[in-house]
Amino acid sequence: MQFRDLVKQYQVLKPEIDKAMEETAASGGYIMGKAVKELESALAEYVGVKHCITCANGTDALTLALKAWNIGPGDAVFVPDFTFFASAEVISNEGATPVFVDVSKDTFNICPVSLEEHIQKVVAKGELTPKVIITVDLYGLPADYHAIRAIADKYNMYMLEDGAQGFGGTINGQRACSLGDISTTSFFPAKPLGCYGDGGAVFTNNDEWAGIISSLRFHGKGSYKYDNVRIGMNSRLDTIQAAIILPKFKAFVEYELDDVNKAAGLFTERLKDVVKTPFIPEGYRSSWAQYTIRLENEEQRDGLQAYLKEQGIPSMVYYPKPMCEQTAFKYLNYPEGSNPTTIELCKTVLSLPMHPYLTEKEIDKVANEVINYLSRVR
Ligand SMILES: *Cc1c(COP(=O)(O)O)cnc(C)c1O
């Protein structure tokens, strides 16, 4: 059994994907070719924003947003303590200071109460200016944008949606990657919409920021290729990756997103009485980048993971360490136990196999083995 079966997806979509790769090879337009523009239009329309600017990866997408807002030394950027490293790495790379916020126990997303506490602490200290809130749509579930927007407005801050795992999720029909002032996503192969290498995109309704980001991704390009008006980056999405995403995006919209939701529903039905299954708030829909259960303690979680491995079932711990405890962030001197919910989740979460091509038989096997293990240790 695969944790995320990308080869199975390729087998299903092989004719279209092979054709896309061959056409790109024959076209000669390897950089910023036709498929790039086509993909950007299709994604902007789907998400419901004016501009989509593709780039080299999801980390660069976040960096491009911070650069468009001129974030740098002296600025505080608030980010969940429970996320993938890249969400916070980009802040330090711009010379700004990451402030790690605790997450909500039920949704695993940034906690509005903890966020406001951390903002007030920074304001009281008076050394840094609160500038940006990075919300992460963890495991595919959009963050609490209603509450976060109110806080961003109150403190005059930008909201940057890290939708690397969130693409395809919705809140009352409004799509992820349209929920921030700027939103980003990643096309890393294992994300909800992946390519066959690295890729990413930035989304915004703001014309000025879109213009700056288009320039930044292409060496600070001005009116033509050898007119450089700002210090930029080399961060474009390869034409061949855009061409591969187009048929995958079609499958994503037509059935994959529905199929992962069906798979998640089956897991929850089978597991809800034995473990803590994912909580999806009223009006929200997840794109199920991960299906993550919670166990009672670290020993039980690690025991279950080892048992599943023996049964040939892969599972993952996303994430085993709070951001503020990462060696790379030791320079920020966070006291131990800073964000208690994050610490608790790092010890108790376990992500089970999840993808649109999972069969009901596979779901049954995974669910039965989880139940078997827990009935043995309880
Ligand atoms: C994967 C991921 C990123 C980074 O995306 P890359 O394309 O790998 O650079 C950023 N944030 C989150 C939450 C992610 O899961």
Structure tokens of 189? 């192969």
Atom 2 (ligand 1): residue with closest C-alpha? 164
Does residue 9 have its Cβ closer than 6 Å to ligand 1? no
Atom 6 (ligand 1): residue with closest C-alpha? 58
Distance 352 CA to ligand 1 centre (A): 19
Q: What is the pTM of this model?
A: 0.98
Distance 165 CA to ligand 1 centre (A): 7
Does residue 59 have its Cβ closer than 6 Å to ligand 1? yes
Does residue 137 have its Cβ closer than 6 Å to ligand 1? no
Q: What is the pLDDT along the chain (378 residues), one digit of tens a residue?
A: 999 999 999 999 999 999 999 999 999 999 999 999 999 999 999 999 999 999 999 999 999 999 999 999 999 999 999 999 999 999 999 999 999 999 999 999 999 999 999 999 999 999 999 999 999 999 999 999 999 999 999 999 999 999 999 999 999 999 999 999 999 999 999 999 999 999 999 999 999 999 999 999 999 999 998 999 999 999 999 999 999 999 999 999 999 999 999 999 999 999 999 999 999 999 999 999 999 999 999 999 999 999 999 999 999 999 999 999 999 999 999 988 899 999 999 999 999 999 999 999 999 999 999 999 999 988
